[in-house]
Amino acid sequence: MGTPTKADLMAETVQTFRTNLESTGGNNVGIVVPDEVVAAFERGKRVPVSVTVNGSYTYSSSIASMGGRFLISFNAATRSATGLGAGDTIDVQVEVDDAPRTVDVPAALGKALNSSRSATTAWQALSPSKQKVHALSVESAKTDETRERRVAKVIETLES
Protein backbone atom coordinates (compact mmCIF):
# COMPACT_ATOMS: atom_id res chain seq x y z
CA MET A 1 0.00 0.00 0.00
CA GLY A 2 1.18 3.48 -0.84
CA THR A 3 0.48 6.79 0.78
CA PRO A 4 -3.21 7.25 1.60
CA THR A 5 -5.03 9.64 -0.71
CA LYS A 6 -7.18 12.50 0.55
CA ALA A 7 -10.25 10.34 -0.21
CA ASP A 8 -8.81 7.55 1.97
CA LEU A 9 -8.48 9.96 4.88
CA MET A 10 -11.98 11.43 4.64
CA ALA A 11 -14.81 10.17 6.79
CA GLU A 12 -17.43 8.00 5.17
CA THR A 13 -20.62 9.78 4.13
CA VAL A 14 -22.83 6.76 3.31
CA GLN A 15 -23.32 3.58 5.32
CA THR A 16 -25.68 0.63 4.86
CA PHE A 17 -26.78 -2.07 7.29
CA ARG A 18 -29.61 -4.51 8.02
CA THR A 19 -31.48 -4.41 11.32
CA ASN A 20 -34.81 -5.03 13.01
CA LEU A 21 -37.05 -2.12 13.93
CA GLU A 22 -37.16 -1.99 17.69
CA SER A 23 -39.87 -0.88 20.06
CA THR A 24 -38.27 1.74 22.28
CA GLY A 25 -41.10 2.17 24.77
CA GLY A 26 -44.71 3.22 24.49
CA ASN A 27 -45.68 3.78 20.87
CA ASN A 28 -42.09 4.61 19.86
CA VAL A 29 -40.11 2.63 17.31
CA GLY A 30 -36.50 3.19 16.35
CA ILE A 31 -33.71 2.02 14.10
CA VAL A 32 -30.76 0.87 16.20
CA VAL A 33 -27.61 2.05 14.43
CA PRO A 34 -24.45 -0.03 14.87
CA ASP A 35 -21.62 1.77 16.67
CA GLU A 36 -19.26 1.20 13.74
CA VAL A 37 -21.65 3.03 11.38
CA VAL A 38 -21.65 6.11 13.61
CA ALA A 39 -17.87 5.90 14.07
CA ALA A 40 -17.34 5.79 10.28
CA PHE A 41 -19.00 9.21 9.93
CA GLU A 42 -16.48 10.79 12.36
CA ARG A 43 -19.13 13.33 13.40
CA GLY A 44 -19.61 12.57 17.09
CA LYS A 45 -22.77 11.22 18.69
CA ARG A 46 -25.39 13.25 16.77
CA VAL A 47 -25.29 12.99 13.00
CA PRO A 48 -27.84 14.58 10.63
CA VAL A 49 -28.72 11.97 8.02
CA SER A 50 -30.93 11.10 5.11
CA VAL A 51 -32.39 7.65 5.83
CA THR A 52 -33.48 5.27 3.06
CA VAL A 53 -35.44 2.20 4.16
CA ASN A 54 -35.57 -0.89 1.93
CA GLY A 55 -34.34 1.18 -1.00
CA SER A 56 -37.66 2.94 -1.46
CA TYR A 57 -38.60 5.34 1.34
CA THR A 58 -36.33 8.26 2.28
CA TYR A 59 -36.65 10.79 5.09
CA SER A 60 -34.46 13.21 7.06
CA SER A 61 -33.54 12.52 10.65
CA SER A 62 -30.57 12.42 12.99
CA ILE A 63 -28.65 9.62 14.61
CA ALA A 64 -28.73 10.31 18.34
CA SER A 65 -27.31 8.61 21.40
CA MET A 66 -30.12 7.39 23.66
CA GLY A 67 -29.80 4.98 26.55
CA GLY A 68 -26.24 4.03 25.65
CA ARG A 69 -26.95 3.19 22.01
CA PHE A 70 -27.47 5.02 18.75
CA LEU A 71 -31.00 5.35 17.36
CA ILE A 72 -32.89 6.93 14.50
CA SER A 73 -36.56 7.69 15.05
CA PHE A 74 -39.05 5.68 13.01
CA ASN A 75 -42.14 7.74 13.82
CA ALA A 76 -45.83 7.03 13.23
CA ALA A 77 -45.87 8.86 9.90
CA THR A 78 -42.91 6.83 8.66
CA ARG A 79 -44.47 3.58 9.90
CA SER A 80 -47.70 4.46 8.12
CA ALA A 81 -45.94 5.40 4.87
CA THR A 82 -43.85 2.22 4.81
CA GLY A 83 -46.26 -0.26 6.39
CA LEU A 84 -43.42 -1.32 8.71
CA GLY A 85 -43.32 -1.58 12.48
CA ALA A 86 -41.46 -2.96 15.47
CA GLY A 87 -39.93 -6.37 14.78
CA ASP A 88 -39.70 -5.94 11.00
CA THR A 89 -36.31 -6.49 9.36
CA ILE A 90 -35.17 -3.61 7.18
CA ASP A 91 -32.24 -2.61 4.99
CA VAL A 92 -31.06 0.87 5.90
CA GLN A 93 -28.88 3.36 4.05
CA VAL A 94 -27.84 6.44 6.00
CA GLU A 95 -26.11 9.35 4.33
CA VAL A 96 -24.73 12.42 6.06
CA ASP A 97 -27.15 15.28 5.35
CA ASP A 98 -25.61 18.70 5.89
CA ALA A 99 -28.39 20.52 4.06
CA PRO A 100 -30.01 23.20 6.21
CA ARG A 101 -33.15 21.90 7.92
CA THR A 102 -36.12 24.04 6.98
CA VAL A 103 -39.76 23.91 7.97
CA ASP A 104 -42.69 24.97 5.83
CA VAL A 105 -44.69 27.40 7.94
CA PRO A 106 -48.46 27.15 7.44
CA ALA A 107 -49.96 30.42 6.14
CA ALA A 108 -52.01 31.12 9.28
CA LEU A 109 -48.96 30.67 11.51
CA GLY A 110 -46.78 32.74 9.18
CA LYS A 111 -49.27 35.61 9.33
CA ALA A 112 -49.31 35.48 13.14
CA LEU A 113 -45.51 35.35 13.31
CA ASN A 114 -45.26 38.38 11.03
CA SER A 115 -47.37 40.38 13.47
CA SER A 116 -45.20 39.60 16.52
CA ARG A 117 -41.50 40.45 16.52
CA SER A 118 -40.88 38.59 19.81
CA ALA A 119 -42.64 35.45 18.54
CA THR A 120 -40.67 35.61 15.28
CA THR A 121 -37.39 35.94 17.17
CA ALA A 122 -38.32 33.01 19.41
CA TRP A 123 -39.37 30.94 16.37
CA GLN A 124 -36.05 31.54 14.64
CA ALA A 125 -34.21 30.39 17.78
CA LEU A 126 -36.06 27.05 17.81
CA SER A 127 -34.48 23.93 16.37
CA PRO A 128 -36.07 22.74 13.12
CA SER A 129 -37.59 19.76 14.93
CA LYS A 130 -39.35 22.05 17.43
CA GLN A 131 -40.52 24.31 14.61
CA LYS A 132 -41.89 21.25 12.86
CA VAL A 133 -43.91 20.20 15.92
CA HIS A 134 -45.61 23.60 16.01
CA ALA A 135 -46.13 23.72 12.23
CA LEU A 136 -47.66 20.23 12.14
CA SER A 137 -49.97 21.12 15.00
CA VAL A 138 -51.39 24.04 12.99
CA GLU A 139 -51.30 22.20 9.66
CA SER A 140 -53.21 19.18 10.97
CA ALA A 141 -56.18 21.22 12.22
CA LYS A 142 -59.36 20.11 10.50
CA THR A 143 -61.39 23.27 11.15
CA ASP A 144 -60.61 26.99 10.99
CA GLU A 145 -61.51 27.33 14.65
CA THR A 146 -59.05 24.63 15.69
CA ARG A 147 -56.37 26.15 13.46
CA GLU A 148 -56.88 29.61 14.99
CA ARG A 149 -56.77 28.18 18.51
CA ARG A 150 -53.53 26.32 17.75
CA VAL A 151 -51.92 29.37 16.15
CA ALA A 152 -52.80 31.41 19.24
CA LYS A 153 -51.30 28.74 21.48
CA VAL A 154 -48.05 28.65 19.46
CA ILE A 155 -47.74 32.44 19.57
CA GLU A 156 -48.47 32.50 23.30
CA THR A 157 -45.81 29.84 23.90
CA LEU A 158 -43.25 31.72 21.82
CA GLU A 159 -43.94 35.05 23.52
CA SER A 160 -43.66 33.66 27.06
Q: Where are the domains of the chain?
A: 10-96, 107-159
Three-state DSSP state, 106: coil
- How much is the pLDDT for 135? 93
Strand partners, 11: none
- How much is the pLDDT for 9? 39
Percent helix / strand / coil, the chain, rounded to 5: 40, 30, 30
Question: Considering the domain 10-96 in this protein, what is its CATH number?
Answer: 2.40.30.100
Q: What is the pTM of this model?
A: 0.68
Radius of gyration of the chain (CA): 19
- How much is the pLDDT for 25? 83
- How much is the pLDDT for 11? 61
Strand partners, 17: 92
Which segments of the chain have a pLDDT < 50? 1-10
- How much is the pLDDT for 134? 95
- How much is the pLDDT for 127? 87
